[in-house]
Structure 1
Amino acid sequence: MLWSDNGVRVVEAMRPLVIFDCDGVLVDSEPLSVQVLVEALSRRGVVVSEDEAYERFLGRSLSTVAQILHDDFDHSIDAAFLEDLRHHLYERFRRELQPVAGIADVLDALDCEKCVASSSQPERIRLSLSLTGLLQRFEPHIFSASMVAQGKPAPDLFLHAASSMGVDPSSCIVIEDSPAGIEAAQRAGMAVFAFVGGSHATAPGYSERVTALAPDVVFDAMPELLHLVRKHREGSKGRRAHRAV
Protein backbone atom coordinates (compact mmCIF):
# COMPACT_ATOMS: atom_id res chain seq x y z
CA MET A 1 0.00 0.00 0.00
CA LEU A 2 1.22 3.49 -0.85
CA TRP A 3 0.64 6.44 1.47
CA SER A 4 1.19 10.16 1.08
CA ASP A 5 3.21 12.18 3.60
CA ASN A 6 0.04 13.17 5.46
CA GLY A 7 -1.13 9.57 5.85
CA VAL A 8 -3.77 9.58 3.09
CA ARG A 9 -4.03 6.57 0.82
CA VAL A 10 -2.59 7.19 -2.65
CA VAL A 11 -4.59 5.92 -5.64
CA GLU A 12 -2.95 2.95 -7.29
CA ALA A 13 -4.23 2.55 -10.84
CA MET A 14 -2.96 -1.00 -11.31
CA ARG A 15 -4.28 -2.61 -8.13
CA PRO A 16 -7.67 -4.28 -8.67
CA LEU A 17 -10.65 -3.90 -6.38
CA VAL A 18 -13.87 -5.92 -6.50
CA ILE A 19 -16.83 -3.89 -5.23
CA PHE A 20 -19.85 -5.94 -4.19
CA ASP A 21 -23.39 -4.70 -3.92
CA CYS A 22 -25.04 -6.32 -0.90
CA ASP A 23 -28.74 -7.04 -1.49
CA GLY A 24 -29.20 -9.60 -4.23
CA VAL A 25 -25.45 -10.19 -4.63
CA LEU A 26 -24.10 -11.17 -1.20
CA VAL A 27 -27.42 -11.90 0.50
CA ASP A 28 -30.61 -13.14 -1.14
CA SER A 29 -32.70 -10.37 0.36
CA GLU A 30 -34.57 -8.74 -2.51
CA PRO A 31 -37.79 -10.81 -2.35
CA LEU A 32 -38.03 -10.21 1.40
CA SER A 33 -37.33 -6.48 1.01
CA VAL A 34 -39.88 -6.02 -1.75
CA GLN A 35 -42.57 -7.97 0.09
CA VAL A 36 -42.05 -5.96 3.28
CA LEU A 37 -42.08 -2.64 1.40
CA VAL A 38 -45.26 -3.51 -0.52
CA GLU A 39 -46.96 -4.55 2.73
CA ALA A 40 -45.82 -1.39 4.54
CA LEU A 41 -47.14 0.80 1.73
CA SER A 42 -50.43 -1.13 1.71
CA ARG A 43 -50.89 -0.35 5.41
CA ARG A 44 -50.64 3.32 4.38
CA GLY A 45 -53.18 2.92 1.60
CA VAL A 46 -50.58 2.98 -1.20
CA VAL A 47 -51.10 0.14 -3.67
CA VAL A 48 -47.93 -1.04 -5.42
CA SER A 49 -47.56 -4.54 -6.87
CA GLU A 50 -44.41 -6.56 -6.27
CA ASP A 51 -43.62 -6.47 -9.99
CA GLU A 52 -43.88 -2.67 -10.01
CA ALA A 53 -41.76 -2.45 -6.86
CA TYR A 54 -38.99 -4.47 -8.49
CA GLU A 55 -39.08 -2.25 -11.57
CA ARG A 56 -39.14 1.08 -9.72
CA PHE A 57 -37.19 0.49 -6.51
CA LEU A 58 -34.68 -2.34 -7.02
CA GLY A 59 -31.17 -1.24 -6.09
CA ARG A 60 -32.12 2.34 -5.28
CA SER A 61 -31.32 4.26 -2.11
CA LEU A 62 -33.98 5.07 0.47
CA SER A 63 -33.86 8.75 -0.50
CA THR A 64 -34.51 7.85 -4.14
CA VAL A 65 -37.37 5.53 -3.16
CA ALA A 66 -38.82 8.31 -1.03
CA GLN A 67 -38.62 10.73 -3.96
CA ILE A 68 -40.38 8.28 -6.29
CA LEU A 69 -43.13 7.70 -3.74
CA HIS A 70 -43.56 11.46 -3.31
CA ASP A 71 -43.56 12.28 -7.03
CA ASP A 72 -45.50 9.33 -8.45
CA PHE A 73 -47.69 8.16 -5.56
CA ASP A 74 -48.20 11.39 -3.62
CA HIS A 75 -46.95 9.70 -0.47
CA SER A 76 -44.32 11.09 1.89
CA ILE A 77 -42.20 8.78 4.03
CA ASP A 78 -42.11 9.80 7.68
CA ALA A 79 -40.31 8.50 10.75
CA ALA A 80 -43.22 6.25 11.74
CA PHE A 81 -43.27 4.62 8.30
CA LEU A 82 -39.51 4.01 8.41
CA GLU A 83 -39.70 2.47 11.87
CA ASP A 84 -42.57 0.21 10.79
CA LEU A 85 -40.65 -0.82 7.68
CA ARG A 86 -37.41 -1.45 9.57
CA HIS A 87 -39.14 -3.49 12.29
CA HIS A 88 -40.86 -5.85 9.87
CA LEU A 89 -37.86 -6.13 7.54
CA TYR A 90 -35.35 -6.98 10.26
CA GLU A 91 -37.79 -9.50 11.72
CA ARG A 92 -38.02 -11.24 8.34
CA PHE A 93 -34.24 -11.08 7.90
CA ARG A 94 -33.61 -12.73 11.27
CA ARG A 95 -35.97 -15.57 10.36
CA GLU A 96 -35.30 -16.09 6.67
CA LEU A 97 -32.28 -14.26 5.26
CA GLN A 98 -29.72 -16.48 3.50
CA PRO A 99 -26.41 -15.76 1.79
CA VAL A 100 -26.27 -16.10 -1.98
CA ALA A 101 -25.27 -19.67 -2.77
CA GLY A 102 -21.50 -20.11 -3.01
CA ILE A 103 -20.58 -16.56 -2.01
CA ALA A 104 -18.59 -17.44 1.13
CA ASP A 105 -16.24 -19.74 -0.78
CA VAL A 106 -15.82 -17.16 -3.53
CA LEU A 107 -14.92 -14.42 -1.06
CA ASP A 108 -12.39 -16.68 0.66
CA ALA A 109 -10.74 -17.58 -2.65
CA LEU A 110 -10.72 -14.09 -4.19
CA ASP A 111 -7.10 -12.93 -4.33
CA CYS A 112 -7.65 -9.18 -4.56
CA GLU A 113 -9.09 -6.44 -2.38
CA LYS A 114 -12.83 -6.25 -1.94
CA CYS A 115 -15.47 -4.05 -0.33
CA VAL A 116 -19.22 -3.54 -0.13
CA ALA A 117 -21.03 -0.56 -1.66
CA SER A 118 -24.77 -0.74 -1.05
CA SER A 119 -27.80 1.52 -1.32
CA SER A 120 -28.92 0.31 2.11
CA GLN A 121 -28.23 2.03 5.41
CA PRO A 122 -25.04 0.94 7.27
CA GLU A 123 -27.05 -0.70 10.05
CA ARG A 124 -28.97 -2.84 7.58
CA ILE A 125 -25.85 -3.80 5.62
CA ARG A 126 -24.04 -4.96 8.75
CA LEU A 127 -27.09 -6.83 10.04
CA SER A 128 -27.48 -8.64 6.71
CA LEU A 129 -23.82 -9.61 6.57
CA SER A 130 -23.73 -10.61 10.22
CA LEU A 131 -26.81 -12.85 9.94
CA THR A 132 -25.29 -14.63 6.94
CA GLY A 133 -21.76 -15.00 8.34
CA LEU A 134 -20.14 -12.63 5.84
CA LEU A 135 -19.43 -9.53 7.92
CA GLN A 136 -15.85 -10.31 8.91
CA ARG A 137 -14.94 -10.91 5.28
CA PHE A 138 -15.51 -7.19 4.57
CA GLU A 139 -15.26 -5.19 7.78
CA PRO A 140 -14.38 -2.31 7.89
CA HIS A 141 -14.65 -1.77 4.13
CA ILE A 142 -18.41 -1.19 3.99
CA PHE A 143 -19.85 1.81 2.14
CA SER A 144 -23.45 3.03 2.12
CA ALA A 145 -25.39 5.44 -0.06
CA SER A 146 -25.93 7.45 3.12
CA MET A 147 -22.25 8.47 2.82
CA VAL A 148 -22.68 10.32 -0.51
CA ALA A 149 -24.83 13.06 -1.99
CA GLN A 150 -26.63 10.91 -4.54
CA GLY A 151 -27.42 7.21 -4.53
CA LYS A 152 -27.49 4.81 -7.47
CA PRO A 153 -27.87 5.26 -10.44
CA ALA A 154 -25.53 8.20 -9.75
CA PRO A 155 -21.87 7.04 -9.64
CA ASP A 156 -21.13 8.76 -6.31
CA LEU A 157 -21.14 5.66 -4.09
CA PHE A 158 -18.82 3.59 -6.25
CA LEU A 159 -16.42 6.51 -6.72
CA HIS A 160 -16.43 7.07 -2.95
CA ALA A 161 -15.65 3.39 -2.32
CA ALA A 162 -12.79 3.39 -4.83
CA SER A 163 -11.33 6.62 -3.42
CA SER A 164 -11.58 5.34 0.16
CA MET A 165 -9.83 2.11 -0.82
CA GLY A 166 -7.15 4.00 -2.74
CA VAL A 167 -7.93 2.42 -6.11
CA ASP A 168 -8.46 4.06 -9.48
CA PRO A 169 -12.00 3.56 -10.88
CA SER A 170 -10.58 1.95 -14.03
CA SER A 171 -9.16 -0.86 -11.86
CA CYS A 172 -12.51 -1.67 -10.21
CA ILE A 173 -14.93 -4.49 -10.96
CA VAL A 174 -18.44 -3.95 -9.61
CA ILE A 175 -20.70 -6.94 -8.91
CA GLU A 176 -24.30 -5.76 -9.23
CA ASP A 177 -27.77 -7.19 -9.67
CA SER A 178 -29.90 -4.10 -10.28
CA PRO A 179 -30.27 -1.84 -13.34
CA ALA A 180 -29.66 1.20 -11.11
CA GLY A 181 -26.43 -0.29 -9.80
CA ILE A 182 -25.21 -1.32 -13.25
CA GLU A 183 -25.80 2.20 -14.55
CA ALA A 184 -24.00 3.68 -11.54
CA ALA A 185 -20.93 1.49 -12.13
CA GLN A 186 -20.83 2.35 -15.82
CA ARG A 187 -21.08 6.06 -15.05
CA ALA A 188 -18.20 5.64 -12.59
CA GLY A 189 -16.00 4.23 -15.38
CA MET A 190 -15.82 0.78 -13.80
CA ALA A 191 -16.25 -2.70 -15.22
CA VAL A 192 -19.56 -4.19 -14.11
CA PHE A 193 -20.52 -7.85 -13.80
CA ALA A 194 -24.28 -8.37 -13.59
CA PHE A 195 -25.30 -11.21 -11.27
CA VAL A 196 -28.72 -12.59 -12.21
CA GLY A 197 -28.74 -15.66 -9.97
CA GLY A 198 -30.76 -14.24 -7.07
CA SER A 199 -34.23 -15.53 -6.34
CA HIS A 200 -35.69 -12.27 -7.68
CA ALA A 201 -34.28 -12.94 -11.17
CA THR A 202 -37.61 -14.41 -12.29
CA ALA A 203 -39.44 -11.09 -11.77
CA PRO A 204 -41.10 -10.03 -15.06
CA GLY A 205 -38.84 -7.93 -17.23
CA TYR A 206 -35.88 -8.12 -14.85
CA SER A 207 -33.45 -9.94 -17.14
CA GLU A 208 -34.41 -7.73 -20.07
CA ARG A 209 -33.72 -4.54 -18.09
CA VAL A 210 -30.33 -5.87 -17.00
CA THR A 211 -29.13 -7.05 -20.41
CA ALA A 212 -30.37 -3.87 -22.10
CA LEU A 213 -27.70 -1.96 -20.17
CA ALA A 214 -24.94 -4.10 -21.73
CA PRO A 215 -22.86 -4.89 -18.62
CA ASP A 216 -19.39 -6.34 -19.26
CA VAL A 217 -20.50 -9.76 -18.01
CA VAL A 218 -23.82 -11.40 -17.12
CA PHE A 219 -23.63 -14.52 -14.93
CA ASP A 220 -26.06 -16.52 -12.79
CA ALA A 221 -23.89 -18.74 -10.56
CA MET A 222 -21.62 -17.10 -8.00
CA PRO A 223 -18.81 -19.73 -8.24
CA GLU A 224 -18.26 -18.50 -11.82
CA LEU A 225 -17.03 -15.17 -10.46
CA LEU A 226 -13.49 -16.35 -9.69
CA HIS A 227 -12.92 -17.35 -13.31
CA LEU A 228 -14.57 -14.18 -14.61
CA VAL A 229 -12.42 -11.91 -12.44
CA ARG A 230 -9.23 -13.73 -13.47
CA LYS A 231 -10.20 -13.50 -17.14
CA HIS A 232 -10.96 -9.78 -16.84
CA ARG A 233 -7.66 -9.10 -15.06
CA GLU A 234 -5.69 -11.00 -17.69
CA GLY A 235 -7.46 -9.04 -20.43
CA SER A 236 -6.73 -5.76 -18.65
CA LYS A 237 -3.04 -6.64 -18.39
CA GLY A 238 -2.96 -7.42 -22.09
CA ARG A 239 -4.59 -4.11 -22.98
CA ARG A 240 -2.11 -2.20 -20.79
CA ALA A 241 0.83 -4.03 -22.38
CA HIS A 242 -0.48 -3.21 -25.84
CA ARG A 243 -0.82 0.49 -24.98
CA ALA A 244 2.75 0.52 -23.61
CA VAL A 245 4.25 -0.72 -26.90
Structure 2
Amino acid sequence: MTAAIMERGLVIFDCDGVLVDSEPISIRCTAAALNGFGYPIDEDGVFDRFLGASTASMVKTVEESLGRTLAPEALDDLRREILAAFDVELTAIPGVSEAVNALDRPFCVASSSIPERIRHSLRLTGLLPLFEPAIFSATMVVHGKPAPDLFLLAAKRLGAAPSECVVIEDSIHGAAAGQAAGMVVLGFTGGSHIARDPDRRERHAWRLKRAGAALVFDSMADLPELVRQVTR
Protein backbone atom coordinates (compact mmCIF):
# COMPACT_ATOMS: atom_id res chain seq x y z
CA MET A 1 0.00 0.00 0.00
CA THR A 2 2.74 2.47 0.89
CA ALA A 3 4.59 1.80 -2.37
CA ALA A 4 1.41 2.39 -4.35
CA ILE A 5 0.82 5.71 -2.62
CA MET A 6 4.37 6.86 -3.29
CA GLU A 7 4.07 5.95 -6.96
CA ARG A 8 0.73 7.70 -7.44
CA GLY A 9 1.19 10.55 -4.99
CA LEU A 10 -1.30 11.93 -2.50
CA VAL A 11 -3.91 14.71 -2.64
CA ILE A 12 -4.22 16.62 0.64
CA PHE A 13 -7.41 18.63 1.12
CA ASP A 14 -7.97 21.45 3.52
CA CYS A 15 -11.49 21.16 4.95
CA ASP A 16 -13.09 24.56 5.62
CA GLY A 17 -13.71 26.43 2.38
CA VAL A 18 -12.47 23.52 0.25
CA LEU A 19 -14.62 20.51 1.15
CA VAL A 20 -17.35 22.30 3.12
CA ASP A 21 -18.67 25.83 2.62
CA SER A 22 -18.13 26.72 6.26
CA GLU A 23 -16.06 29.89 6.14
CA PRO A 24 -18.92 32.43 5.98
CA ILE A 25 -20.37 30.84 9.13
CA SER A 26 -17.04 30.67 10.95
CA ILE A 27 -16.04 34.19 9.95
CA ARG A 28 -19.36 35.65 11.14
CA CYS A 29 -19.23 33.87 14.49
CA THR A 30 -15.53 34.61 15.02
CA ALA A 31 -15.88 38.33 14.29
CA ALA A 32 -18.73 38.61 16.78
CA ALA A 33 -16.80 36.70 19.45
CA LEU A 34 -13.58 38.67 19.01
CA ASN A 35 -15.44 41.95 19.29
CA GLY A 36 -17.00 40.61 22.47
CA PHE A 37 -13.51 39.87 23.78
CA GLY A 38 -12.55 43.52 23.18
CA TYR A 39 -10.66 42.91 19.93
CA PRO A 40 -12.30 45.15 17.30
CA ILE A 41 -12.53 43.45 13.92
CA ASP A 42 -15.08 43.03 11.15
CA GLU A 43 -15.71 40.00 8.95
CA ASP A 44 -13.32 41.25 6.26
CA GLY A 45 -10.65 41.57 8.93
CA VAL A 46 -11.17 37.97 10.07
CA PHE A 47 -10.94 36.85 6.43
CA ASP A 48 -7.69 38.73 5.84
CA ARG A 49 -5.95 37.96 9.14
CA PHE A 50 -7.13 34.55 10.26
CA LEU A 51 -8.49 32.55 7.31
CA GLY A 52 -6.78 29.14 7.39
CA ALA A 53 -4.92 29.78 10.63
CA SER A 54 -5.27 27.45 13.59
CA THR A 55 -7.30 28.55 16.60
CA ALA A 56 -4.10 28.54 18.67
CA SER A 57 -2.43 30.90 16.21
CA MET A 58 -5.42 33.26 16.17
CA VAL A 59 -5.68 33.27 19.96
CA LYS A 60 -1.96 34.05 20.27
CA THR A 61 -2.32 37.06 17.98
CA VAL A 62 -5.40 38.35 19.80
CA GLU A 63 -3.90 37.84 23.26
CA GLU A 64 -0.71 39.64 22.27
CA SER A 65 -2.76 42.56 20.98
CA LEU A 66 -4.98 42.73 24.07
CA GLY A 67 -2.17 42.12 26.54
CA ARG A 68 -4.19 39.48 28.37
CA THR A 69 -5.31 35.89 27.98
CA LEU A 70 -8.73 34.87 26.70
CA ALA A 71 -10.92 32.83 29.00
CA PRO A 72 -10.96 29.16 27.92
CA GLU A 73 -14.70 28.99 28.47
CA ALA A 74 -15.19 31.88 26.02
CA LEU A 75 -13.35 29.94 23.33
CA ASP A 76 -15.44 26.87 24.14
CA ASP A 77 -18.56 29.00 23.69
CA LEU A 78 -17.31 30.14 20.28
CA ARG A 79 -16.68 26.54 19.19
CA ARG A 80 -20.17 25.50 20.31
CA GLU A 81 -21.76 28.47 18.54
CA ILE A 82 -19.99 27.60 15.27
CA LEU A 83 -20.96 23.93 15.48
CA ALA A 84 -24.58 24.84 16.25
CA ALA A 85 -24.66 27.13 13.21
CA PHE A 86 -23.15 24.33 11.11
CA ASP A 87 -26.05 22.08 12.09
CA VAL A 88 -28.45 24.54 10.46
CA GLU A 89 -26.46 26.10 7.62
CA LEU A 90 -23.52 23.95 6.53
CA THR A 91 -23.33 22.54 3.00
CA ALA A 92 -20.65 20.79 0.97
CA ILE A 93 -18.76 22.68 -1.70
CA PRO A 94 -20.67 22.01 -4.96
CA GLY A 95 -19.27 19.06 -6.90
CA VAL A 96 -16.70 18.09 -4.30
CA SER A 97 -17.92 14.52 -3.77
CA GLU A 98 -17.82 13.80 -7.50
CA ALA A 99 -14.38 15.40 -7.82
CA VAL A 100 -12.91 13.38 -4.95
CA ASN A 101 -14.33 10.15 -6.33
CA ALA A 102 -12.81 10.92 -9.74
CA LEU A 103 -9.25 11.25 -8.41
CA ASP A 104 -6.81 8.60 -9.60
CA ARG A 105 -4.72 8.63 -6.42
CA PRO A 106 -5.14 8.51 -2.61
CA PHE A 107 -6.39 11.55 -0.70
CA CYS A 108 -6.80 12.83 2.85
CA VAL A 109 -7.83 15.88 4.90
CA ALA A 110 -5.37 18.12 6.76
CA SER A 111 -7.15 20.99 8.48
CA SER A 112 -6.41 23.69 11.04
CA SER A 113 -9.67 22.80 12.81
CA ILE A 114 -9.89 20.49 15.79
CA PRO A 115 -10.69 16.82 15.00
CA GLU A 116 -14.23 17.01 16.39
CA ARG A 117 -15.11 19.95 14.16
CA ILE A 118 -13.57 18.35 11.06
CA ARG A 119 -15.52 15.13 11.52
CA HIS A 120 -18.71 17.00 12.45
CA SER A 121 -18.46 19.07 9.26
CA LEU A 122 -17.77 16.05 7.06
CA ARG A 123 -20.54 14.03 8.72
CA LEU A 124 -23.13 16.79 8.23
CA THR A 125 -22.29 17.07 4.54
CA GLY A 126 -22.09 13.33 3.88
CA LEU A 127 -18.36 13.43 3.12
CA LEU A 128 -17.03 11.60 6.17
CA PRO A 129 -17.09 8.09 4.62
CA LEU A 130 -14.87 9.35 1.79
CA PHE A 131 -12.07 10.42 4.13
CA GLU A 132 -12.25 8.45 7.38
CA PRO A 133 -9.76 7.59 8.86
CA ALA A 134 -7.33 9.74 6.80
CA ILE A 135 -8.07 12.94 8.73
CA PHE A 136 -5.33 15.14 10.19
CA SER A 137 -5.73 18.15 12.48
CA ALA A 138 -3.41 20.97 13.50
CA THR A 139 -3.81 19.67 17.06
CA MET A 140 -1.51 16.80 16.01
CA VAL A 141 1.51 19.07 15.45
CA VAL A 142 3.33 21.78 17.39
CA HIS A 143 3.14 24.41 14.67
CA GLY A 144 0.02 24.87 12.57
CA LYS A 145 -0.26 26.53 9.16
CA PRO A 146 1.58 28.46 7.69
CA ALA A 147 4.23 26.04 9.05
CA PRO A 148 4.50 22.89 6.91
CA ASP A 149 4.25 20.48 9.86
CA LEU A 150 0.66 19.33 9.35
CA PHE A 151 1.07 18.53 5.66
CA LEU A 152 4.36 16.76 6.31
CA LEU A 153 2.70 14.69 9.03
CA ALA A 154 -0.09 13.64 6.66
CA ALA A 155 2.41 12.65 3.97
CA LYS A 156 4.55 10.70 6.44
CA ARG A 157 1.59 8.84 7.95
CA LEU A 158 0.35 7.83 4.51
CA GLY A 159 3.77 6.96 3.15
CA ALA A 160 3.94 9.66 0.47
CA ALA A 161 6.98 11.71 -0.51
CA PRO A 162 6.24 15.46 -0.11
CA SER A 163 7.30 16.11 -3.70
CA GLU A 164 4.55 13.71 -4.85
CA CYS A 165 1.80 15.47 -2.88
CA VAL A 166 -0.78 17.98 -4.15
CA VAL A 167 -2.37 20.34 -1.61
CA ILE A 168 -5.82 21.88 -2.20
CA GLU A 169 -6.14 25.11 -0.21
CA ASP A 170 -8.30 28.23 -0.10
CA SER A 171 -6.22 30.19 2.40
CA ILE A 172 -2.98 32.12 2.24
CA HIS A 173 -1.72 30.35 5.37
CA GLY A 174 -2.47 26.97 3.80
CA ALA A 175 -0.86 27.80 0.47
CA ALA A 176 2.27 28.98 2.25
CA ALA A 177 2.32 25.79 4.33
CA GLY A 178 2.03 23.60 1.25
CA GLN A 179 4.85 25.39 -0.50
CA ALA A 180 7.03 25.19 2.62
CA ALA A 181 6.37 21.43 2.69
CA GLY A 182 7.72 21.10 -0.86
CA MET A 183 4.32 20.15 -2.26
CA VAL A 184 2.40 21.37 -5.30
CA VAL A 185 -0.39 23.72 -4.21
CA LEU A 186 -3.66 24.28 -6.04
CA GLY A 187 -5.52 27.35 -4.78
CA PHE A 188 -9.32 27.08 -4.59
CA THR A 189 -11.53 30.17 -4.86
CA GLY A 190 -14.94 28.51 -5.25
CA GLY A 191 -16.09 28.81 -1.62
CA SER A 192 -18.87 31.35 -1.16
CA HIS A 193 -16.69 33.48 1.15
CA ILE A 194 -14.52 34.22 -1.91
CA ALA A 195 -16.63 33.55 -5.00
CA ARG A 196 -19.56 35.81 -4.10
CA ASP A 197 -17.43 38.92 -4.65
CA PRO A 198 -15.61 39.02 -8.05
CA ASP A 199 -13.13 41.62 -6.82
CA ARG A 200 -12.32 39.57 -3.74
CA ARG A 201 -11.96 36.42 -5.85
CA GLU A 202 -9.51 38.11 -8.21
CA ARG A 203 -7.56 39.64 -5.35
CA HIS A 204 -7.48 36.39 -3.37
CA ALA A 205 -6.39 34.39 -6.42
CA TRP A 206 -3.42 36.72 -6.77
CA ARG A 207 -2.58 36.35 -3.08
CA LEU A 208 -2.78 32.55 -3.31
CA LYS A 209 -0.34 32.53 -6.22
CA ARG A 210 1.99 34.84 -4.35
CA ALA A 211 1.83 32.49 -1.34
CA GLY A 212 2.81 29.48 -3.43
CA ALA A 213 -0.16 28.18 -5.44
CA ALA A 214 0.92 26.82 -8.81
CA LEU A 215 -2.62 27.20 -10.18
CA VAL A 216 -5.89 28.67 -8.96
CA PHE A 217 -9.34 27.27 -9.82
CA ASP A 218 -12.93 27.91 -8.76
CA SER A 219 -14.83 24.77 -9.80
CA MET A 220 -14.38 21.35 -8.27
CA ALA A 221 -15.30 19.82 -11.64
CA ASP A 222 -11.84 20.90 -12.84
CA LEU A 223 -9.92 19.31 -9.96
CA PRO A 224 -9.21 15.76 -11.25
CA GLU A 225 -7.71 17.03 -14.50
CA LEU A 226 -5.70 19.76 -12.73
CA VAL A 227 -4.20 17.15 -10.38
CA ARG A 228 -3.20 15.06 -13.38
CA GLN A 229 -1.67 18.11 -15.08
CA VAL A 230 0.53 19.15 -12.17
CA THR A 231 1.74 15.59 -11.47
CA ARG A 232 2.74 14.51 -15.01
Same fold per superposition (TM over 0.5): yes
Aligned equivalent of 2:112: 119
Aligned equivalent of 2:164: 171
Aligned equivalent of 2:140: 147
1:138 Cα deviation from its structure 2 partner: 0.3
After superposition, the CA RMSD in angstroms is 1.6
Aligned equivalent of 1:216: 214
Q: Which amino acid aligns with 2:205?
A: S
Within 5 Å, give how 1:1-245 maps onto structure 2.
Answer: 1-2=1-2, 13-201=6-194, 202=197, 204=200, 205-233=203-231, 235=232
State the Cα deviation string for residues 116-155 of structure 1 (Å, max 9, x = none). Answer: 0000000000000000000000000000000001000000
Contact 1:11 1:167 in 2 (8 A): no
Distance (whole Å) between structure 2 residues aligned to residue 161 and residue 214 of structure 1:
19
Query: Equivalent residue of 2:79, what SS?
Result: helix
Q: Which amino acid aligns with 1:26?
A: L
Distance (whole Å) between structure 2 residues aligned to residue 91 and residue 218 of structure 1:
32
Distance (whole Å) between structure 2 residues aligned to residue 142 and residue 111 of structure 1:
19
1:230 Cα deviation from its structure 2 partner: 1.6
1:20 Cα deviation from its structure 2 partner: 0.2
Q: Which moved more, 1:36-45 or 1:95-104?
A: 36-45
Count of matched residue positions in the alignment of Structure 1 and Structure 2: 227
In the superposition, relative to structure 1, how do residues 178 and 48 fare at CA in structure 2: closer, same or farther (>3 Å)? same
Contact 2:53 2:146 in 1 (8 A): yes
Q: Which amino acid aligns with 1:33?
A: S
Contact 2:140 2:150 in 1 (8 A): yes
1:11 Cα deviation from its structure 2 partner: 9.5
Distance (whole Å) between structure 2 residues aligned to residue 85 and residue 185 of structure 1:
28
TM, length-normalised to structure 2: 0.93
1:111 Cα deviation from its structure 2 partner: 1.9
Distance (whole Å) between structure 2 residues aligned to residue 96 and residue 175 of structure 1:
23
Q: Which runs of 5+ in 1 are unaligned?
A: 3-9, 236-245
1:212 Cα deviation from its structure 2 partner: 2.3
Q: Which amino acid aligns with 1:212?
A: R
1:12 Cα deviation from its structure 2 partner: 6.0
Query: Equivalent residue of 2:12, what SS?
Result: strand
1:75 Cα deviation from its structure 2 partner: 4.8
If you compute each CA radius of gyration, which structure gives the higher value, 1 or 2?
1
In the superposition, relative to structure 1, how do residues 24 and 150 fare at CA in structure 2: closer, same or farther (>3 Å)? same
Distance (whole Å) between structure 2 residues aligned to residue 138 and residue 32 of structure 1:
23
Query: Equivalent residue of 2:167, what SS?
Result: strand
More helix by share: 2
TM, length-normalised to structure 1: 0.88
